Copies of this chain bind each other. A is one copy, B any other.
Amino acid sequence: MTKALAGLKLLDVSRVLTGPYCTMVMADLGADVIKIEVPGRGDDSRQFGPFANGESGYYMTLNRNKRSLTLDLRRPEGQAVLKDLAVWADILVENFAAGTMDQWGLGYDHLAALNPRLVYVSITGFGQYGPYAGRFAFDAIAQATGGLMSITGQKGGPPTRVGTALGDINAGNFAAIGLLAALYQRERTGRGQHIDISMQDCIAAILENAVVRYTIDGVVPGRLGSAHATVGPYDVFPASDGYVFIACANEATWQRLCAAMGQPGLTADPRFAANRDRIGHIDELTALITSWSGGHSVADLLAILGDNDVPAAPVFTVEQVVNDPHIKARNMMVTVGHPVAGPVTIPGNPIKMSAAEDTIERPAPLLGQHTDEILAALGYSAAKIAALKEAQIV
């Protein structure tokens, strides 16, 4: 197999989600990722369900393609091993609370002294500096304090968390961009650097036009369900067996929707004549379309809307996504054989490259599965490895 990041060495000292997501993307692209786990217990996410033969599906999703080394970073002998690995590595990713790695003598300055080429990535809730730097955060707190929760949800309803841990995942992706940019810079300067990613910052960075709606117009953006503020109809509508998204971005599409609904006379209704009229009567319009859509199946609606050239799409459940022929054709659901769990289907790699493969090469590791081979490759003798095990350092 050919992979874009083949040869890149990544030391992953992160747990649960934001760091592991970043390093999963790197591993999928071919980096050799060594995941450091607490001896005896491992990443907390090994305890998160669902479980297949006792193995965590949550852990398996995020840690495929990685190798596992157990190592106690709280003890000097463990810190010494990490320093040897930091000399080996191109990149280190960590997501401990700000200051923790420094306390252990494993901060950026400590490790850059040993390996000036090291790119050192820290991902935390609020970053390494600024008034909230010490504060703890997890996904929902980043979604809440980054402003995204306030603009997600139904009109008149409460703020709503995005149904996936976007606070973590989004920061993991920005971290991936940052570390690859630092590698590009390193080709020119010969030196690594420290990258500081804050989950709150990363949510603020994706607020899109919501920021200028406030800073230019003084409007505090609210929640609109799935609807558009200024274009309508543009919303999710119920079918008899699911939901369909329908969008009319211009007058011609609206006229075709009226034809699709078998109500061509509607185009003459002054409440709905132009887009601004429709937005002014959006609740009546939504009720009208709902009374039509609810009487048809999703398949029927998509056929009718398609025949009339009205942009529409099914709202897929996760079951439908997993079984979607297009998603399958694009290798976006991958069944990985796991020595204990058996075959498990997990999401694939969405970066499709003409000169590199998008395969998932191996399942998530068992706890400490690669401890011996990794330490041996560092040049540790069998006696030294045995002593580290005896002392429960690894």
* CB atoms of B180 and A177 under 8 A apart: yes
Q: How far is the CA of A217 from the CA of B17 in the complex (A)?
A: 21
Nearest neighbor of A312 in chain B, beta-carbon distance: B141
- Known contacts: A160-B154, A173-B177. The answer to whether A351 contacts B211 by CB under 8 A is no
**Taking A181-B4, A344-B215 as contacts, is the C-beta distance between A245 and B140 under 8 angstroms?**
yes
Chain B proximity mask over A230-254: 1 for CB below 8 Å, otherwise 0: 1000101010000101010000000
Closest to A168 in B: B208
What B residues does A161 contact at CB under 8 A?
A: 152, 225-226, 236
Contacts of A152 in B (CB 8 A): 152, 160-163
B352 touches A197 (CB 8 A): yes
- Given known contacts A145-B316, A209-B61, A354-B108, A185 and B4 CB-to-CB distance under 8 angstroms: yes
**Cross-chain contact A180 with B184 (CB below 8 angstroms):** yes
Closest to A154 in B: B157
Of the candidates B57, B191, B211, B311, which one forms a contact with A318 in the assembled complex, judged by CB atoms under 8 Å apart?
B211
**New A-B pairs, 7, CB < 8 Å, besides A164-B210, A183-B184:** A4-B181, A6-B185, A158-B238, A177-B177, A195-B352, A205-B349, A210-B318
Whether the Cβ atoms of B225 and A160 lie closer than 8 Å is yes
Q: Known interface pairs A154-B160, A163-B152, A354-B108. Does A136 touch B311 (Cβ–Cβ under 8 Å)? A: yes
Report yes or no: A184 in contact with B327, Cβ–Cβ below 8 A: no
A169 interface residue per 8 A CB criterion: yes
Q: Does A333 contact B (CB under 8 A)?
A: yes
Q: Which residue of B lies closest to A126 (CB)?
A: B326
Q: Which 4 A-B pairs have CB atoms at the shortest separation, nearest pair first?
A: A57-B212, A151-B163, A180-B180, A193-B355
Q: Please determine whether A208 and B158 come into contact, CB atoms closer than 8 angstroms.
A: no
Tell me which residues across on chain B come within 8 A of A230, comparing CB atoms: 49
Given contacts A8-B184, A57-B216, A144-B315, contact A353 B169 (CB under 8 A): no
CB contact between A180 and one of B181, B200, B234, B322 (< 8 Å): that residue: B181
Contacts of A212 in B (CB 8 A): 50, 57-58, 60-61, 344-346
Question: Is the CB of A196 closer than 8 A to any CB of chain B?
Answer: yes
With a cutoff of 8 Å between Cβ atoms, the chain B residues found around residue A344 in the complex are: 212, 215-216
Q: Which residues of B contact A352 (CB under 8 A)?
A: 127-128, 195-198, 201
Q: Does A153 have its Cβ within 8 Å of any Cβ on chain B? A: yes
**A220:B173 contact, CB within 8 angstroms:** no
Considering the complex, which residues of chain A in the window 1-60 have a beta carbon less than 8 Å from any beta carbon of chain B? 4-8, 17, 25, 29, 48-52, 57-58, 60
Across the two chains, which residue of chain B brings its CB closest to A199? B350
User: Given the complex of chains A and B, what is the CA–CA distance between A147 and B145 in angstroms?
Assistant: 25
Residues from 301 to 338 in A contacting B, C-beta threshold 8 Å: 311, 313-322, 324-327, 329-330, 332-333
Q: List 12 A-B contacts (CB under 8 A).
A: A50-B216, A144-B245, A149-B243, A149-B315, A152-B161, A158-B238, A158-B243, A164-B210, A170-B173, A176-B177, A196-B352, A198-B352
Report yes or no: A236 in contact with B144, Cβ–Cβ below 8 A: yes
- CB-CB nearest in chain B for A7: B188
Nearest-CB residue, chain B, relative to A51: B216
Contact between A318 and B184 (Cβ–Cβ < 8 Å)?
no
- Contact in complex: A185, B355 (CB < 8 Å): yes
Per a CB cutoff under 8 Å, which of B197, B207, B216 touches A351? B197
Q: How many Å from the CB of A225 to the closest CB on chain B? A: 6
List, in ascending order, chain B residues with CB within 8 A of A311's CB: 136, 138, 141
A197 touches B61 (CB 8 A): no
Whether, in the assembled complex, A347 has its beta carbon less than 8 Å from a beta carbon of chain B, the answer is: yes
**A96 within 8 Å of B (CB atoms):** no
